[in-house]
Amino acid sequence: MTIQQLLKTAPVTTLLLVSFIGLFIMQVLSGVDANNPSTEELLKWGANALPYTMDSEPWRLASSAFLHIGLMHLLFNGFAMYFFGQIAEPMFGSAKFLALFLLAAIGGNLLNNHITWQGILDGTGQPGISAGASGGIMGIGAALLIAALFKISVNGMVLNLKSLIIIMGINLVYGFAVPGIDNAGHIGGAVTGLVIALAFAIAYRQRLAATLQNMPNQAQDIYQTTYINSFRFDNDGNFDNNSSFNHDSAVNLPMNVNANHASLNHSKINEQQTATKSTLIWQLLPWLVMLLISIGFVWWWQDIHQQILQVLAAIE
């Protein structure tokens, strides 16, 4: 896929890749080592670090997702974003895709800080730094797993569930096998992506069911009638007495048919309005879930923040 095609089909993915590369170039031009940046340099450029992030700089939960620790880290995450993004963004929509990436990245960083903090309290850990889009990308990958499980199609094609499981499994195994990998960030991002994707998949299924239920019947309309063709008239334009047509029915039948037709049309309109409202509600479900997750993340950050303040106050 060319850059022009990627920009057209997945604009957010393109912009994310440009931001990753652009930030890395800015770092290198400012004198940061392209392969082995120092801790001080990473902190300066927005890396996640518990003493800073959970104190007064929560913006690091998001900024660290755009920062990469060396060229190989950037290339690996850039390829993964390119691979997953061109599939996931057209499926979920650009706005939901961006929200999914950011929330998964934040969720991964929060879990990392939570585990780090618990290790400090237990005396088994110490503060470190983390950076990279891995948490957000794992969230996107987990979302694609749910899409494959629910058989949500992309341009008429259903994702291969087994292939996605293998890819995600390799990433997790690699993370635990190689030292220095932020496994908590990966897991936190994946769990966040799973929850959001479940909301999307359920909403997708319900909207599809509502659409199918509201499809018009292709059979001939039962209200169409040809009874006029069976009536016989005399030369004066009066009904033939020999006709089986009844004068009462000449007045009442059309009125009854029209009344029934109007009643059924009204019923159809009500059903369509109900289906439209139902579809709108299901469309809002993923956004509602993401809003609740955001509120939960704020509470989570505040909880760890307060614990840190209490410990510092006790030390003083």
Q: Is 134 helix (H, G, I), strand (E, B) or coil?
A: helix
What do you get for the CA distance between the two ends of the chain, in Å? 59
Q: Check residue 251 and give left, alpha or beta (phi > 0: left; psi -120 to 50: alpha).
A: alpha
Q: Which of 186, 261, 263, 294 is catalytic?
A: 186
Q: Is 244 a catalytic residue?
A: no
Q: Is 186 a catalytic residue?
A: yes
Q: Is 148 helix (H, G, I), strand (E, B) or coil?
A: helix
Would you call 93 exposed, middle or buried from its count of C-beta atoms within 10 A (0-12, 13-18, 19+)?
A: middle
What is 24-41 written as a DSSP string?
A: HHHHHHTT--SSS--HHH
Question: Torsion angle of alpha carbons 72, 163, 199, 20, nearest 10°?
Answer: 20
Can you tell me the distance from the alpha carbon of 163 to that of 150, in angstroms, rounded to the nearest whole number? 15
Can you tell me the distance from the alpha carbon of 193 to that of 86, in angstroms, rounded to the nearest whole number? 17
Q: Which of 134, 153, 163, 243 is catalytic?
A: 134
Query: Which residue in this structure is represented by tokens 């957010």?
Result: 12
Q: Which residues are catalytic?
A: 134, 186
